[in-house]
Amino acid sequence: MITPLEITQLIQSKAIELGFTSMTVAKAEFMIPEAKRLEKWLHQGYHSGMQYMENHFDKRVDPTKLLPGTKTVISLSHNYFTHQKQKDPKAPKISMYAYGKDYHTVVKGKLSILMEYIKSQFGDVSMRSFVDSAPILERDWARRSGLGWIGKNTLLIHPKRGSYFFLAEILCDLEMHYDTPMKDYCGTCRKCIDACPTDALSTSGYVLDSNKCISYLTIEHKGDIPLEHKSKMNGWIFGCDICQKVCPWNRFSTPHDESDFISSNGMLDMTEKEWIELHEETFHELFKYSAIKRTKYSGLNRNIKFSITNDAE
């Protein structure tokens, strides 16, 4: 009879083979402390225009509501760190995670292969996978299973890998060997808090006000960017890496080896002038397979104009 530990080890081995950086496992259960924190965060309005965060609260804090019969939450990470850079130092800035193909598609494909493997090994297993989708608290499950700790910048951090990685989850009804949470190693460091130009992080960290977050403002936010953020965007037009760049733990980040995450569409070669003169037809051609298409042309153009205006003053 195969043991829960052996089941876990077999799946971990396959996950690493598929290119995932690491995999840890937690017991599926109602998340009492996380539910209280989420409720408080929502009540404070820190989710800004992301009204969907208010929906399906019960599913967000209880995986058995997402998939009845769930016994285990498998958390996986996938490295996206790279030494590739935008060539023009004056060009509007793109977050590193969007350099290559859309991670939703790439990682989801790997999850599908992993789930097929699980079924081939253990029969008719009930499963459901997620990549930054559906109402699931992915960072909290990753923390619960020891994939890392949630840092003062509210991102998951691993002491040997930093924070430049995507998260993914599989809910399943398999009994597995459960991991334990990792210690918080942020200590007295507050570099991320001090470096955030819009003061999106609370004074003691661990709480993010999306209303002020550059990543939120350039991707999720609808309509005009509030003028109070004028001159504070630091040139970012899609996402923001500031709190990761200053994090000491990211000195341990190593380049990924995923070909789909290598920028190959010429985006990194674009000059400031080319970004300013970007036409809608070029946008659709350039970002057809990119996460950047999420902003749509109108959103990216808004960000570019706002960023360039800031830089000019």
Quick one: pLDDT at residue 251? 98
Q: Give the confidence band of 309 by pLDDT, cuts at 50, 70, 90.
A: low
- Does the annotation count 224 as an active-site position? no
What the block records as the tokens of 123 is 């029969």
Euclidean distance between CA atoms 20 and 98, whole angstroms: 18
Kindly provide the b/e burial profile for residues 264-278, where b requires at least 16 CB atoms within 10 angstroms of the residue's own CB.
ebebbebebeebeeb
Quick one: pLDDT at residue 313? 37
Please write the tens of the pLDDT for every residue from 185-226. 999 999 999 999 999 999 999 999 999 999 999 999 999 999
Exactly one of 62, 88, 132, 260 is catalytic; which is it? Answer: 132
Please write the tens of the pLDDT for every residue from 113-144. 999 999 999 999 999 999 998 899 999 999 99
Asked if the model's pLDDT at residue 82 lies above 80, the reply is yes
The pTM is what? 0.95
Please write the tens of the pLDDT for every residue from 225-246. 999 999 999 999 999 999 999 9
Pairing of strands 165-172, 72-79: antiparallel
Contact (CB, 8 A) for 154 and 186: no
Domain ranges of the chain: 4-172, 191-252+263-312
User: What is the mean predicted confidence (pLDDT) over 143-159?
Assistant: 98
User: What is the mean predicted confidence (pLDDT) over 81-107?
Assistant: 97
Asked if the model's pLDDT at residue 32 lies above 50, the reply is yes
